[in-house]
């Protein structure tokens, strides 16, 4: 059984695959009788004796163990199993968990490794054509890389223009050599693992800006690169996560070539996940990567992407990939976000004021409404709430903003009132809270969501900005960012 741990915004998802990874490939091999079943990698690793070493691999940019073996008196051991390993980049890990060297695990998975820790650069792999290609390519790249480093140093310390030009031309030749070496693999070994890796690594070169009907089309290079960014890469290929560079390329793509608008992101992740659905490893990898990224997004409004993932994947059966604790957490998070997406009407707030009069959000007209959920015992709240009051007094009030402070800790009413008094919060504020009796009544009545859930208040302070119709127009920003947002709204 293969186990992966995936961090998910504060909780861990332990995913257990009861079916061995790559089982379909094993079954196919067993019936065809053309290839050996499973994996059998013989290793001689001197000077280790009578000790355990490990076979490691990549899970995106993370590293995991795939197998282990105990070396005998002759430093000999076997990574052996009935299941095929997913082809990709693997590495040998020492008894003290140090990575010693990398190699490829191909489709055959029946080969020998001979190595010595005193000379790790000279290990031999016998019986694997893919590793022959990998070894030759790596040596050539290392030589070119060393030459390039020397030329870069010479170029940076050149004292004359003629020397600078000479080194610059030499650097261009080295870059041409890099491309030629890659092209050799593409031409001479089109079905090799190295060809696959080069396709994943490849970034298209931006073309020159074309002139269309007498005008320069400055957007063409950007869209050309975006449209060809994933040429020859298919998202259901499990080998993608057995490289350290696929995930970094994915991050680069979303950072540089996908709009931050949630609908644009949703279009991209929907396509990738739909294609990846048949990949037993790549599909959960992508699903949880996107879930981690957008469950608590970097940019406001992108939690809509997480909600899309929940509604279109998790709620349609993909929660079988989760343990019960994570399933519960994801479901509760999704239902919290549903109520407070950007553009949605804010959930009702019918609570008590500080002097126990009734207050209703929708009966309090204002051009803008700023809601602050805070706890009088929270140290960060004690820093931020006076800043809210300062912005309100000096600027927001003139913009037609109403500020509502919601005490989330009904057991600390005395501390709440004392802090408000000591800080001289503006009289224009509305200070409200939910009594314990009201909360217990909600729970007893079986209401599906409390105020905390409806407003996704899992930390304090939590801020929202509403428009005149009480629709959410901003959330999860800093106080300064809310101020900038209000200034921009005023200019509109």
Judgement on whether residues 462 and 369 belong to the same structural domain of the protein: yes
Judgement on whether residues 178 and 277 belong to the same structural domain of the protein: no
- Is residue 470 domain-resident? yes
Judgement on whether residues 186 and 294 belong to the same structural domain of the protein: no
- Classify strands 401-407 and 430-433 as parallel, antiparallel or unpaired: parallel
- The CATH number assigned to the domain holding 120 equals 2.60.40.10
- Classify strands 124-126 and 51-59 as parallel, antiparallel or unpaired: unpaired
Q: For residues 254 and 99, what is the distance between their CA atoms, to the nearest angstrom? A: 30
pLDDT of residue 227: 96
Judgement on whether residues 136 and 123 belong to the same structural domain of the protein: no
Q: Residue 446: which pLDDT band, with cuts at 50, 70 and 90? A: low
Judgement on whether residues 121 and 138 belong to the same structural domain of the protein: no
To the nearest whole number, what is the mean pLDDT of the chain? 88
Of 105, 77, 112, 79, the closest CA to residue 90 belongs to 105
Judgement on whether residues 354 and 464 belong to the same structural domain of the protein: yes
Predicted confidence (pLDDT) at residue 203 exceeds the cutoff of 70: yes
Predicted confidence (pLDDT) at residue 481 exceeds the cutoff of 60: yes
pTM for this entry: 0.80
Q: Please count the helices (runs of H) and the strands (runs of E) in the chain.
A: 15, 19
- The CATH number assigned to the domain holding 384 equals 3.40.30.10
Identify the domain containing residue 314 by its residue range: 233-338
- Is residue 175 domain-resident? yes
Predicted confidence (pLDDT) at residue 445 exceeds the cutoff of 80: no
Final residue belonging to a domain, choices 111, 127, 143: 127
Judgement on whether residues 153 and 192 belong to the same structural domain of the protein: yes
Q: For residues 95 and 142, what is the distance between their CA atoms, to the nearest angstrom? A: 28
pLDDT of residue 30: 36
Q: For residues 450 and 293, what is the distance between their CA atoms, to the nearest angstrom? A: 26
The string of pLDDT tens digits covering residues 25-46 is 333 333 334 555 799 999 999 9
pLDDT of residue 245: 93
pLDDT of residue 331: 87
- Is residue 259 domain-resident? yes
Final residue belonging to a domain, choices 127, 162, 178: 127
- Is residue 93 domain-resident? yes
Judgement on whether residues 262 and 328 belong to the same structural domain of the protein: yes
Q: For residues 375 and 381, what is the distance between their CA atoms, to the nearest angstrom? A: 7
- Is residue 81 domain-resident? yes
What domain count does the chain have?
Answer: 4
In the structure encoding, which two tokens stand for residue 75, read together?
């430093």
Query: Of 35-44, 60-69, 214-223, which gets the smallest average pLDDT?
Result: 35-44
The string of pLDDT tens digits covering residues 93-109 is 999 999 999 999 999 89
- Is residue 428 domain-resident? yes
Judgement on whether residues 172 and 120 belong to the same structural domain of the protein: no
Predicted confidence (pLDDT) at residue 17 exceeds the cutoff of 50: no
- Is residue 245 domain-resident? yes
Judgement on whether residues 325 and 375 belong to the same structural domain of the protein: no
What are the DSSP calls for 44-80, one per residue?
EEET--SEEEEEEEEETTEEEEEEEEEE-TTSEEEEE
Judgement on whether residues 333 and 382 belong to the same structural domain of the protein: no
pLDDT of residue 441: 79
Judgement on whether residues 354 and 486 belong to the same structural domain of the protein: yes
Compute CA distances 247 → 131, 201, 251, 279, whole Å. Answer: 23, 11, 6, 16
Residues 85 and 281: beta-carbon distance below 8 Å:
no
Q: Residue 447: which pLDDT band, with cuts at 50, 70 and 90? A: low
Predicted confidence (pLDDT) at residue 3 exceeds the cutoff of 50: no
If you average pLDDT over residues 380-401, what whole number do you get? 94
């Amino acid at each position: 059984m293969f186990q992966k741990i995936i961090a998910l915004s504060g909780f861990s998802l332990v995913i257990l695959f009861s079916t061995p990874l790559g089982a379909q490939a094993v079954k196919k091999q067993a019936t065809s009788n053309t290839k050996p079943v499973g994996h059998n990698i013989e290793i001689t690793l001197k000077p280790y004796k009578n000790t355990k070493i490990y076979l490691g691999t990549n899970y995106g940019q993370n590293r995991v163990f795939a197998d282990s073996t105990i070396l005998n008196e002759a430093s000999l051991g076997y990574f052996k199993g009935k299941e095929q390993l997913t082809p990709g980049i693997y590495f040998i890990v020492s008894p003290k968990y140090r990575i010693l060297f990398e190699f490829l695990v191909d489709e055959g998975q029946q080969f020998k490794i001979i190595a010595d820790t005193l000379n790790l650069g000279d290990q031999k792999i016998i019986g694997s054509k893919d590793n022959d290609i990998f070894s030759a390519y790596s040596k050539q790249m290392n030589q070119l890389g060393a030459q390039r480093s020397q030329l870069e140093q010479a170029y940076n310390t050149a004292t004359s223009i003629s020397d600078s030009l000479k080194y610059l031309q030499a650097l261009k030749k080295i870059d041409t050599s890099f491309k030629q070496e890659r092209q050799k693999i593409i031409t001479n070994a089109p079905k090799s693992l190295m060809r696959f890796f080069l396709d994943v690594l490849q970034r298209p070169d931006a073309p020159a800006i074309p002139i269309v009907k007498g005008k320069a089309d400055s957007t063409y290079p950007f869209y050309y690169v975006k449209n060809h960014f994933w040429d020859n890469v298919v998202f259901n290929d499990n080998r993608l996560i057995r490289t350290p560079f696929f995930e970094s390329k994915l991050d680069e793509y979303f950072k540089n070539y996908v709009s931050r608008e949630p609908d644009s992101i949703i279009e991209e992740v929907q396509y990738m996940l739909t294609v990846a659905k048949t990949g037993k490893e790549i599909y959960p990898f992508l699903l949880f990567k996107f879930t981690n990224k957008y469950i608590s997004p970097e940019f406001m409004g992108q939690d809509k992407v997480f909600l899309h993932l929940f509604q279109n994947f998790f709620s349609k059966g993909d929660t079988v990939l989760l343990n019960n604790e994570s399933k519960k957490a994801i479901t509760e998070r999704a239902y919290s976000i549903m109520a407070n997406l950007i553009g949605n009407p804010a959930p009702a707030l019918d609570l008590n004021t500080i002097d126990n009069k009734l207050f209703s959000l929708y009966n309090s007209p204002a051009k803008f409404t700023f809601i602050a959920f805070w706890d009088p015992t929270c140290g960060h709240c004690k820093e931020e709430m006076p800043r809210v009051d300062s912005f309100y007094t000096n600027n927001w009030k003139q913009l037609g903003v109403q500020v509502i402070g919601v005490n989330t800790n009904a057991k600390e009413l005395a501390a709440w009132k004392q802090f408000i008094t000591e800080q001289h919060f503006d009289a224009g504020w509305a200070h409200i809270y939910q009594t314990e009796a009201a909360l217990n009544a909600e729970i007893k009545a079986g209401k599906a969501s409390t105020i905390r859930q409806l407003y996704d208040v899992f930390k304090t302070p939590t801020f929202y900005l509403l428009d005149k119709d009480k629709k959410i127009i901003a959330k999860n920003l800093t106080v300064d960012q809310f101020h900038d947002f209000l200034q921009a709204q005023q200019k509109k």
